[in-house]
Amino acid sequence: MSKAVVIIPTYKERENIERIIPIIEEDVFPQVKNYQMFILVADDNSPDGTPEAVEAFAKKYKNIEISSGEKKGLGAAYIRAMTFAIEEMGADVVFEMDADLQHDPAKIPDFLEKIDEGCDMVIGTRYSDGGSIPAKWPLHRKAFSVVANLFVRTVFMRFYIHDWTGGYRALKKEVFLKEKHELTKFSGYIFQISFLHKAVRDGFKIGEVPFHFGERSLGDSKIAPIGYIMQVITFVITTRITELQRVIKFLIVGGTGFIVQLVFQEFAANVLFVSVIASLRDGLSAGFGAEAAILCNFMFNNFWTFSDTKHIKQNSHFMHKLIKFNLATLLSVFIQFLSVYLFVHFLGEDVMLFGMSLKTRIVVLFPTIILLVIPLNYFIYNRIIWKTHHLKDK
Ligand code: GDD
Ligand code: MN
């Protein structure tokens, strides 16, 4: 049976942990049939008796563990605890959940259901139908909470995720193992946004469970609002700029490639393949031009657009990549050959457009490249050639 570990980070939460553990153990875990359930408290040596309270529970319930460590922030505590849950406790799924009962433990089975439906990461959301923030919050706090999330959703242009900052989640171990090494620099609450952003970027399937975010009745919030807001703004904007830069570079490279393509195509049509019949000549010339453009794009993209991607082995990959690149883009050479061949075959060498007689082989390139080649190439570049490889954790 699969194992799921509910990780509860704590710093000075003795009263809360004493309330939440019996609720989870007595009311929630018995409802879960298809997972073996555990609790892991990630405590940073709280001086108020939190770890002692957890030790006492661990004697009563055999499925409770504690991971103690130095206080380095919420993100650092989660990274330490998730590593422990996966490596030492054999977790297949881990939960993130606050100790203060603002995250209703009764929702745990809903998260697991989403995982069983095929989601890799499930987000508890306060800002979609069925979710909410406390009605008693003063207006400015409500407004801030809603605006902050809307800001993140807008800047990221990913509206389908309704809650970027929350800390009630479940995820498969694969998601954590893949992103772990990139998360170490996000040691505070910013861990939440950055983790979700990377999971989305890497194509993990995200699900949502709406929930009512309760009020904290005991103890104090540990968040430092101003510092946190600054971190969120900085993170979201710098991340977005990096993503946009790549798109802009890609467009510049593409434009240059197009000119190279035209020059080589016309050279081929007028010199190399002059004696071949028109449709075949123009098709071959288009393929020839496409190959020249591909080589040009490869150089640019390798040394510029995607130069920041890390590779498992640093050197010696150039030829290997070039060959792989050519194989992957053969399809687009063929598409351009075929498209020009067919159009010239059926429409003739020249077409009338805007009252001018133009070479079919040139006109056809525009729709072909825009509709087929660019989307195909962008996909191949990102997913195959300059895929960001990560060093495997030992
Ligand atoms: N181990 C450890 N170390 N635990 C910590 C630390 C830390 O440095 N800082 C906070 N925690 C624990 C708290 O004890 C609590 O159980 C949980 O993390 C959440 O902290 P709160 O202090 O209750 O945060 P909040 O309710 O103000 O924050 C809300 O907003 C955040 C940002 O949107 C919650 O929804 C969080 O889940 C959310 O990430
Ligand atoms: Mn809280």
* Predicted pLDDT at 145: 86
* Predicted pLDDT at 390: 41
Per-residue model confidence as pLDDT tens digits over 172-197: 999 999 999 999 999 999 999 999 99
Could you tell me the distance, in angstroms and rounded to a whole number, from the CA of residue 99 to the centre of ligand 2?
A: 7
Measured distance CA(104)–CA(110) in Å, rounded: 11
Q: Angle at CA 250, nearest 5°, toward 244 and 251?
A: 95
Rg over alpha carbons for the chain, rounded to the nearest Å, is 28
State which amino acid sits at residue 375: P
Task: Please state, for a pLDDT cut of 90, what percent of the chain lies above it.
Answer: 66
Closest ligand to residue 229's CA: 1
- Tokens (6 digits) for 241: 């700029």
For atom 15 of ligand 1, the residue with the nearest CA is: 98
Residue 344 has pLDDT above 90, yes or no: yes
Per-residue model confidence as pLDDT tens digits over 246-277: 778 878 888 898 999 999 999 999 999 988 99
- The closest alpha carbon to 192, from 135, 154, 131, 148, belongs to 148
Closest ligand to residue 222's CA: 1
Residue 389 has pLDDT above 80, yes or no: no
Residue 76 CB less than 6 A away from ligand 1: no
Residue 221 CB less than 6 A away from ligand 1: yes
Residue 222 CB less than 6 A away from ligand 1: yes
Judge contact between 388 and 309, C-beta under 8 A: yes
- Tokens (6 digits) for 24: 């989870």
For atom 35 of ligand 1, the residue with the nearest CA is: 166
Average pLDDT, the chain: 89
* Predicted pLDDT at 277: 92
- Specify burial of residue 332 (Cβ count, 10 A radius: 0-12, 13-18, 19+): buried
Measured distance CA(224)–CA(233) in Å, rounded: 14
Per-residue model confidence as pLDDT tens digits over 283-315: 999 999 999 998 888 788 777 766 655 443 444
Per-residue model confidence as pLDDT tens digits over 101-156: 999 999 999 999 999 999 999 999 999 889 999 999 999 888 888 888 889 988 88
Residue 77 CB less than 6 A away from ligand 1: yes
Residue 98 CB less than 6 A away from ligand 1: yes
- Tokens (6 digits) for 257: 């490639």
Residue 4's φ and ψ, nearest 5 degrees, are: -125, 135
Residue 100 CB less than 6 A away from ligand 1: yes
- Specify burial of residue 214 (Cβ count, 10 A radius: 0-12, 13-18, 19+): middle
Residue 131 CB less than 6 A away from ligand 1: no
Residue 223 CB less than 6 A away from ligand 1: yes
Judge contact between 195 and 186, C-beta under 8 A: yes
Measured distance CA(185)–CA(44) in Å, rounded: 18
Residue 167 CB less than 6 A away from ligand 1: yes
- Specify burial of residue 138 (Cβ count, 10 A radius: 0-12, 13-18, 19+): exposed
Of 43, 165, 223, which is best to mutate to test ligand 1, by the most ligand atoms within 8 angstroms of its C-beta?
223
- The closest alpha carbon to 21, from 101, 102, 137, 134, belongs to 101
Average pLDDT over residues 81-99: 98
- The closest alpha carbon to 223, from 144, 169, 122, belongs to 144
Task: Provide the 3-class DSSP secondary structure of residue 50.
Answer: helix
What pLDDT band is residue 158 in, cutting at 50, 70 and 90? confident
Look at the block and give the residue holding tokens 């100790």. Answer: 99
Could you tell me the distance, in angstroms and rounded to a whole number, from the CA of residue 184 to the centre of ligand 2?
A: 22
What pLDDT band is residue 386 in, cutting at 50, 70 and 90? low
Q: How far apart are the first and last CA of the chain?
A: 26
Per-residue model confidence as pLDDT tens digits over 309-334: 544 344 446 777 777 777 767 888 99
Could you tell me the distance, in angstroms and rounded to a whole number, from the CA of residue 175 to the centre of ligand 1?
A: 21
Could you tell me the distance, in angstroms and rounded to a whole number, from the CA of residue 218 to the centre of ligand 2?
A: 10
Q: Which of 5-19, 27-41, 82-96, 320-334 is least confident?
A: 320-334
State which amino acid sits at residue 87: E
- Tokens (6 digits) for 88: 């030492």
Residue 165 CB less than 6 A away from ligand 1: yes
